[in-house]
């Protein structure tokens, strides 16, 4: 991908995350990016094309980040916490309307994101569970399919906007609490000691 197009995608991503997708027109985007709308249209046919390219780039970036975390993590619990921390930071910076806008106005981009979650993310969690069992820090009776499905669904619960509508916690705080709760259910006694050590080191 040419550098100019990549720069536009990165800057446009921040604009959509900050203001939402529906509320930002191509005129607004051109103004935010300090370029003419004509220049913007030389790279993208319309707003939907821009959104689709952003989601593709974002999912590719997320996959690379998770792969790096997997290689660097000392154990499965450290890996899952690092991945969850990364996801929580991403969610913290997303405008509440983004997921709704994707589903309602950009179905192609929404489908890309959905496939990313249910293919790459779910597979990554299943691999994490297998790793945790082999390291002797996860319960051996864990159902990989059930636990990985719960993990992926937890992001949908938060992005729904209604489930925790009355909570005073931020989306990233809620997500990390859910992840900690899940790890408590996954880890055995040895794993709980590792979790405790990681939490203490983060203080």
Once rounded to an integer, what is the mean pLDDT over residues 191-199? 93
Q: Which residue in 73, 108, 115, 95 sits closest to 24, CA to CA?
A: 95
190 contacts 182 by C-beta, under 8 angstroms: no
Give the pLDDT band of residue 11 (cuts 50, 70, 90).
very high
- State yes or no: pLDDT of 133 exceeds 80: yes
The CA-atom distances, in angstroms, between 185 and each of 31, 63, 111, 117, 126 are: 49, 26, 31, 22, 15
Helix axes 47-72, 3-19, angle to 10 degrees: 90
- State yes or no: pLDDT of 161 exceeds 60: no
Per-residue model confidence (pLDDT) at position 163: 59
Give the pLDDT band of residue 65 (cuts 50, 70, 90).
very high
Once rounded to an integer, what is the mean pLDDT over residues 101-128? 94
Question: Which tokens in the block code for residue 103?
Answer: 């589903």
Q: Which residue segments constitute the domains of the chain, with CATH numbers given?
A: 61-201 (1.10.357)
User: Distance (Å, rounded) from C-alpha 29 to C-alpha 23?
Assistant: 10
Once rounded to an integer, what is the mean pLDDT over residues 178-185? 91
């Amino acid at each position: 991908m040419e550098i100019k197009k990549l720069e536009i995608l990165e800057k446009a991503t921040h604009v959509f995350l900050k203001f939402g997708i529906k509320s930002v027109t191509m005129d607004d985007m051109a103004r935010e990016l300090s370029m003419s709308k004509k220049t913007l249209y030389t790279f993208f046919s319309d707003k939907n094309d821009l959104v689709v390219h952003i989601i593709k780039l974002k999912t590719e970036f997320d996959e690379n980040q998770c792969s790096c975390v997997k290689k660097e993590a000392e154990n499965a619990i450290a890996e899952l916490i690092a991945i969850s921390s990364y996801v929580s930071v991403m969610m913290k910076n997303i405008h509440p309307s983004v997921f709704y806008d994707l589903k309602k106005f950009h179905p192609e981009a929404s489908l890309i994101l959905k496939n990313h979650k249910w293919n790459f993310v779910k597979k990554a969690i299943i691999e994490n569970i297998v790793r945790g069992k082999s390291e002797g820090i996860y319960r051996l009776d864990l159902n990989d399919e059930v636990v990985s499905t719960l993990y992926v669904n937890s992001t949908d619960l938060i992005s729904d906007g209604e489930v925790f509508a009355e909570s005073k916690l931020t989306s990233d705080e809620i997500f990390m609490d859910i992840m900690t709760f899940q790890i408590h259910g996954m880890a055995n006694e040895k794993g709980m000691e590792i979790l405790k050590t990681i939490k203490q080191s983060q203080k």
